[in-house]
Amino acid sequence: MSKIYSFVIALIVWGMTITAKAQPIAVQNAFPNVGGFTQPIFLTHSGDGSNRIFVAQKNGLIYVFQNDSTVSTRNTFLNISNKIVTGGGGDERGLLGLAFHPDYSTNGYFYVNYTAPSPLRTVISRFKVSSGNPNKADSLSELIIMEINQPYSNHNGGMIFFGDDGYFYIGMGDGGSAGDPGNRAQTITEKLGKILRIDVDTTVGAQNYGIPPTNIYADTGAGAKEIYALGIRNPWRMSQDPVTGFIYCGDVGQGSWEEIDIIQNGKNYGWRCYEGNNPYNTSGCGPQGNYTFPISAYGSNSPDCSVTGGYVYRGTRRPELAGRYIYSDYCSGRIRKLYYNGSTVSEEQILLTQSSILSFGVDQQNELYMCANNGTIYRFNLNTSVGITNNNNNAPSEYSLEQNFPNPFNPTTSIRYSLPQISSVKLTIFNSLGKEVRTLINTTQTAGKYERQWDGRDNNGQQVSSGVYFYTLNTEDFTDSKKMLLLK
């Protein structure tokens, strides 16, 4: 009897294994009834709990529709085609970025990045939603935040986003042509070839923005105060992982190497001295130790040629991809993954090949989408062989702050908390003397359960010493603190 029982169990397990393996990772049209798009360069959400999707096109149009696979109607949220300069095919100019203010539900502000003519320049500007229609922006509400002249038509960067620190990040290419002929990426008085970080909630003099105090040149006259990181070639797409806080950047290569970088305050990522891990033009460059090299690089060999930076997967359709960075290459259409643990990279793998991916984006539930050059918005197919519990729509009944785990810890610990409603959230680390060490979160978040890791670094990216630390969660209606111990 025991042999028969064991045989039956083995058959069941074998059957379950076959079923699980029968669902390879694939992509599907996320919104088959809403119509095609024309060069969709970005997808995002407004963070206001409305569960809407916003799709920006290179030609200056932004569409909005409900996040429902059966949706068949969409509205034109904003049309700035009269403000931009662009072209067909691989022209790198146009509407390039879209980001909603963390307090959009209150102030109605959102931001765009576009290239304008005469003179050719990057424009970062703010618009406001219409007071009478949530699916329509006020096209007359534009406030220009920043303008940066562009010497050539390519390498405009394009990505803008709000970090978890509440500041506004801008990815700027090196100004174009080839090989960075003006060495702008290494020139600290230039904004080109940089990751910029500004505070759009304050103004300084005639500027419609302020400078975060921890920017590398914030308190010196040595370089542009907006610079957060330098030595960048063309950061078309970058994103911040909401769990680890790492900022991943896909920096498009010159012709030999495509790279993935972890962007940190004050770091120099090497271009034009280096392309990937390899020397490119080291004339006038410093020692190799002055530069931060990519966590991953792959050759720009046909069919690959141009990296499309993506997101760390935090969705629920493919649980086996959780924590993996998903990105692509525009020319080959290869969708790739890698896992970065803070020091090393593993699981580098090509998942599948699809139509050229222009961009990635996420919805309110952190589900991942792919904007393809064929006009389709894709998402991963659902893995029904793995138990999936999606509690994103089940708001917690009360605020809570959990004890970190592990505790004691070295080098990383996780902090979890719950929000019963949309809230302005600040999660801060203090030392035993009450001095602020690190701000992990300073933004608005919708109702839900959250997890954030701390890697033992302060606001300047420096490792702190062993000892007792406290973390505090503050919202409009809740405050709580807990103690933790860092042991080295």
pLDDT tens-digit series, residues 280-313 = 999 999 999 999 999 999 999 999 999 999 999 9
The dihedrals phi and psi of 431, each to the nearest 5 degrees, come to -85, 180
6 pLDDT more than 70: no
In the numeric block, which tokens belong to residue 222?
Answer: 């040595």
Fold of 28-380: Neuraminidase (2.120.10)
264, 461 contact by CB (below 8 A): yes
The answer to whether 104 and 46 have CB atoms below 8 angstroms apart is yes
pTM for this predicted structure: 0.92
Cross-strand pairs, 278: 275
pLDDT digits (tens, 9 = 90+) for 442-470: 999 999 999 999 999 999 889 999 999 99
Under the banding of pLDDT at 50, 70 and 90, the label for residue 1 is very low
Contact 321, 312 (CB under 8 A): no
Q: Count CB atoms within 10 A of the CB of residue 366.
A: 18
What is the end-to-end Cα distance of the chain in Å, rounded?
55
Domain limits, CATH 2.60.40.4070, in the chain: 400-486
- CA 98 and chain centroid, separation: 12
What is the rounded distance in angstroms from the CA atom of residue 417 to the CA atom of residue 114?
A: 37
Which residues fall within 8 angstroms of residue 140, CB to CB, at 6 or more apart? none
Is CATH 2.60.40.4070 the right assignment for the domain spanning 400-486? Answer: yes
Whether residue 344 has pLDDT greater than 60:
yes
**62 within 8 A of 56, measured Cβ to Cβ:** yes
Strand pairing category for 423-431 and 467-474: antiparallel
**CB 379 within 8 Å of CB 68:** no
Neighbours of 488 (CB within 10 A): 12
- Cβ atoms within 10 Å, residue 434: 7
- Cα separation, 437 vs 463, in Å, equals 10
Question: For the chain, what is the mean pLDDT?
Answer: 93
Q: If pLDDT is split at 50, 70 and 90, which confidence band does 16 have?
A: very low
Please list the residue range(s) of the chain that carry CATH number 2.120.10.30: 28-380
pLDDT of 9: 43
Contacts for 370 with CB less than 8 Å, ≥ 6 apart: 27, 328, 335, 354, 357, 359, 360, 377, 378, 379
As a whole number, mean pLDDT of residues 203-228 equals 95
How confident is residue 18, by pLDDT bands cut at 50, 70 and 90? very low
Q: Say yes or no to pLDDT of 329 above 50.
A: yes
Q: How far apart are CA 100 and CA 47, in angstroms?
A: 7
Asked whether the predicted pLDDT for residue 385 surpasses 90, the reply is: no
